[in-house]
Protein backbone atom coordinates (compact mmCIF):
# COMPACT_ATOMS: atom_id res chain seq x y z
CA UNK A 1 0.00 0.00 0.00
CA UNK A 2 2.76 2.39 0.97
CA UNK A 3 5.52 1.28 -1.27
CA UNK A 4 3.72 2.29 -4.47
CA UNK A 5 6.81 3.77 -6.08
CA UNK A 6 9.54 1.50 -4.85
CA UNK A 7 12.91 2.38 -6.29
CA UNK A 8 14.47 -0.43 -8.29
CA UNK A 9 17.20 -1.17 -5.80
CA UNK A 10 18.31 -4.47 -4.38
CA UNK A 11 17.73 -5.19 -0.70
CA UNK A 12 21.43 -4.62 0.00
CA UNK A 13 21.45 -1.29 -1.81
CA UNK A 14 18.29 -0.21 -0.05
CA UNK A 15 19.70 -1.02 3.36
CA UNK A 16 22.88 0.84 2.43
CA UNK A 17 20.86 3.91 1.43
CA UNK A 18 18.80 3.75 4.61
CA UNK A 19 21.93 3.29 6.68
CA UNK A 20 23.36 6.47 5.14
CA UNK A 21 20.15 8.37 5.86
CA UNK A 22 19.97 7.08 9.44
CA UNK A 23 23.70 7.12 10.11
CA UNK A 24 23.37 8.98 13.40
CA UNK A 25 20.48 6.85 14.60
CA UNK A 26 22.37 3.68 13.76
CA UNK A 27 25.46 4.95 15.57
CA UNK A 28 23.41 5.79 18.66
CA UNK A 29 21.51 2.51 18.64
CA UNK A 30 24.72 0.53 18.12
CA UNK A 31 26.06 2.10 21.32
CA UNK A 32 22.76 1.35 23.03
CA UNK A 33 22.92 -2.26 21.88
CA UNK A 34 26.50 -2.62 23.17
CA UNK A 35 25.41 -1.29 26.58
CA UNK A 36 22.32 -3.47 26.68
CA UNK A 37 24.34 -6.57 25.80
CA UNK A 38 26.95 -5.82 28.46
CA UNK A 39 24.30 -5.20 31.13
CA UNK A 40 22.44 -8.37 30.17
CA UNK A 41 25.66 -10.37 30.39
CA UNK A 42 26.56 -8.87 33.79
CA UNK A 43 23.10 -9.37 35.28
CA UNK A 44 22.69 -12.88 33.89
CA UNK A 45 26.08 -14.09 35.09
CA UNK A 46 25.34 -12.74 38.59
CA UNK A 47 21.96 -14.49 38.83
CA UNK A 48 22.87 -17.68 36.93
CA UNK A 49 23.30 -19.82 40.08
CA UNK A 50 21.50 -17.97 42.90
CA UNK A 51 18.39 -15.80 42.65
CA UNK A 52 18.95 -12.17 43.71
CA UNK A 53 16.88 -9.08 44.44
CA UNK A 54 17.05 -5.85 42.43
CA UNK A 55 19.12 -3.98 45.11
CA UNK A 56 21.61 -6.88 45.28
CA UNK A 57 22.02 -6.87 41.50
CA UNK A 58 22.32 -3.08 41.46
CA UNK A 59 25.08 -3.18 44.07
CA UNK A 60 26.97 -5.92 42.22
CA UNK A 61 26.92 -4.38 38.75
CA UNK A 62 27.01 -0.70 39.77
CA UNK A 63 23.79 0.45 38.10
CA UNK A 64 20.97 2.41 39.82
CA UNK A 65 18.28 0.07 41.21
CA UNK A 66 15.49 1.62 39.10
CA UNK A 67 17.46 0.90 35.92
CA UNK A 68 18.16 -2.67 37.03
CA UNK A 69 14.43 -3.15 37.62
CA UNK A 70 13.72 -1.91 34.09
CA UNK A 71 16.13 -4.50 32.66
CA UNK A 72 14.72 -7.25 34.88
CA UNK A 73 11.17 -6.38 33.74
CA UNK A 74 12.32 -6.59 30.14
CA UNK A 75 14.19 -9.89 30.66
CA UNK A 76 11.09 -11.37 32.36
CA UNK A 77 8.92 -10.31 29.44
CA UNK A 78 11.19 -11.95 26.91
CA UNK A 79 11.83 -15.12 28.96
CA UNK A 80 15.47 -14.41 29.86
CA UNK A 81 14.93 -14.34 33.64
CA UNK A 82 12.26 -15.74 35.94
CA UNK A 83 11.05 -14.78 39.38
CA UNK A 84 12.21 -17.29 42.00
CA UNK A 85 11.03 -16.62 45.55
CA UNK A 86 11.07 -13.60 47.85
CA UNK A 87 13.53 -12.22 50.36
CA UNK A 88 11.57 -10.05 52.80
CA UNK A 89 9.74 -7.53 50.58
CA UNK A 90 11.84 -8.13 47.47
CA UNK A 91 11.14 -10.68 44.73
CA UNK A 92 14.22 -12.62 43.66
CA UNK A 93 15.17 -13.23 40.04
CA UNK A 94 17.32 -15.86 38.38
CA UNK A 95 18.39 -16.65 34.85
CA UNK A 96 15.81 -18.80 33.04
CA UNK A 97 16.78 -22.29 31.95
CA UNK A 98 17.95 -22.27 28.36
CA UNK A 99 15.98 -24.53 26.07
Angle (deg, nearest 10), helices 54-61 and 65-77: 110
In the shown chain, the binding pattern of residues 72 to 91 toward another protein, with x for contact by CB under 8 A and - for none, equals: xxx-xxx----x--x--xxx
**Cα distance from N-terminal residue to C-terminal residue, the chain:** 39
Q: Does the protein bind another protein through residue 53 (CB under 8 A)? A: yes
Closest CA to 83 of 73, 98, 93, 69: 93
- Residue count (the chain): 99
Asked if 54 and 63 touch (Cβ cutoff 8 Å), the reply is no
The CB-of-7 to another protein minimum distance in angstroms stands at 7
Residues 14-33 that bind another protein (CB under 8 A): 14-15, 18-19, 22, 25-26, 29-30, 32-33
Report the interface residues with another protein, using CB under 8 A.
Answer: 1-4, 6-7, 11, 14-15, 18-19, 22, 25-26, 29-30, 32-33, 36-37, 53-55, 58, 65-66, 68-70, 72-74, 76-78, 83, 86, 89-91
Amino acid sequence: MMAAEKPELSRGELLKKLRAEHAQTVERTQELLKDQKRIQRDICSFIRETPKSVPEIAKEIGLPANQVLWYIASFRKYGIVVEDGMCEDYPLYRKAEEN
